[in-house]
């Protein structure tokens, strides 16, 4: 039997969410995906609630880790905005769509989803405001960007994210066209 890490369980959970949805995410599916026994799962997490809490924390902290690795906040608003657009392209979109569906059915997941959404809104708004120089306009543009991302995640077929690249490019042009509050 292979020895797996907590992180491997989290990545497997994101795979299961992306491939089969939240209703199919369970101990058995994770253990089959990883080729381990349920004893391994219970050794790491104690039970399903402990796993879900740690999975959600892992997912929430993912953006923070990636932004730290990219030295977010050190290159100015335009560089920060570009890093955010790049990060957006690399999100696990199918898993995120499944998490959003799960959030409609589970209060713990809903609270984590809200924290992730709020953090994203704050982060993007700060970069957009640095470009456009107007707080209200930055709020509108940020909400538009978030609606575009969530809408894309809900509508796109699995693995089809070419359209998101074009959407983000147009969104980037829009934000930069409003530089200085124009």
What fold, for 6-181?
Answer: Tetracycline Repressor; domain 2 (1.10.357)
Q: Give the model's pLDDT for residue 49.
A: 95
Q: Give the model's pLDDT for residue 134.
A: 94
Domain positions in the chain: 6-181
pLDDT tens for the chain, 182 residues long, are 567 899 999 999 999 999 999 999 999 999 999 999 999 999 999 999 999 999 999 999 887 788 778 777 788 899 999 989 988 988 888 999 999 999 999 999 999 999 999 988 999 999 999 999 999 999 999 999 999 999 998 887 666 777 899 999 999 999 999 997 66
Backbone angles phi, psi at 72, to 5 degrees: -55, 140
Backbone angles phi, psi at 18, to 5 degrees: -65, -40
C-alpha of 7 from chain center: 16
Distance CA(64)–CA(22), nearest Å, equals 24
Nearest to 108 by CA among 60, 49, 24: 49
Distance (Å) of CA 41 to CA 3, 77, 116, 130: 11, 43, 26, 45
Distance CA(62)–CA(64), nearest Å, equals 5
Backbone angles phi, psi at 128, to 5 degrees: -65, -45
Helix 162-177 with 77-89: angle, nearest 10 deg: 160
Q: Give the model's pLDDT for residue 66.
A: 80
């Amino acid at each position: 039997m292979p020895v797996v890490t907590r992180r491997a369980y989290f990545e497997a959970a994101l795979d299961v969410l992306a491939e089969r949805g939240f209703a199919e995410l369970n101990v058995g599916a994770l253990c089959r995906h990883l080729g381990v026994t349920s004893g391994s799962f219970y050794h790491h997490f104690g039970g399903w609630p402990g796993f879900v809490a740690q999975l959600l924390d892992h997912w929430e902290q993912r953006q923070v880790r990636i932004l730290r690795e990219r030295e977010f906040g050190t290159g100015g608003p335009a560089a920060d905005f570009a890093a955010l657009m790049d990060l957006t392209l690399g999100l696990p979109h199918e898993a995120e769509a499944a998490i959003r569906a799960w959030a409609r059915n589970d209060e713990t997941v809903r609270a984590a989803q809200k924290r992730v959404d709020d953090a994203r809104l704050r982060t993007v708004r700060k970069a957009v405001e640095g470009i456009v120089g107007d707080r209200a306009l930055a709020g509108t543009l940020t909400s538009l960007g978030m609606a575009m991302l969530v809408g894309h995640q809900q509508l796109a077929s699995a693995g089809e994210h070419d359209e998101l690249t074009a959407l983000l490019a147009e969104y980037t042009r829009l934000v930069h066209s409003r530089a200085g509050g124009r």
